[in-house]
C-alpha cells in the first residue's frame, strides 16, 4: 500500500501498542514467549479501525463547516 507508514524493525519493536499497551515486539501468544504476528495483527486491526473512525469524524466536521 502506498499510504502505509514505514517503520524500521527496531522502531516498530519498541513502539508501544495503543491497543493493548505492550511493545509491538512483546506480542506473544498466551503461554508462549514466541513473537506472534497474529496477536500483532489483531492490535493493528483495532488501531486501524479507530484511526479510520477518527478520519471519518474529521471529514464530517469539514463538511459541516463549509
Ligand atoms: Zn497490542
| pLDDT digit string, tens, across residues 1-46 | 455 566 677 887 888 998 999 998 899 988 888 889 899 899 989 9
Q: Rounded to the nearest whole angstrom, what is the distance from the C-alpha of residue 5 to the centroid of ligand 1?
A: 17
Residue 5's Cβ-side half-sphere holds a number of Cα atoms within 13 Å equal to 6
Range of the domain at 23: 9-53
Residue 42 lies inside a defined structural domain of this protein: yes
Measured CA to CA, the distance from residue 42 to residue 55 in angstroms comes to: 20
Distance 61 CA to ligand 1 centre (A): 30
Kindly report whether the global pTM for this prediction surpasses the value 0.75.
Answer: no
Nearest to 5 by CA among 42, 37, 23, 15: 15
In a domain, 61, yes or no: no
Provide CB contacts within 8 A for 47, sequence distance 6+: 17, 18, 19
Residue 56 CA to ligand 1 center (angstroms) comes to 23
Domain count for the chain = 1
User: How close is the Cα of 2 to the center of ligand 1, in Å?
Assistant: 24
Looking at the domain assignment, is residue 64 inside a domain?
no
- Whether 17 maps to a domain, the answer reads yes
Amino acid at each position: 500500500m502506498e499510504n502505509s507508514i514505514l517503520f524500521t524493525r527496531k522502531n516498530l519493536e519498541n513502539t508501544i501498542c495503543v491497543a493493548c499497551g505492550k511493545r509491538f515486539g512483546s506480542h506473544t501468544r498466551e503461554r508462549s514467549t514466541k513473537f506472534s504476528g497474529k496477536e500483532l495483527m489483531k492490535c493493528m486491526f483495532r488501531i486501524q479501525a479507530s484511526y479510520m473512525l477518527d478520519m471519518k469524524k474529521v471529514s464530517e466536521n469539514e463538511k459541516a463547516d463549509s
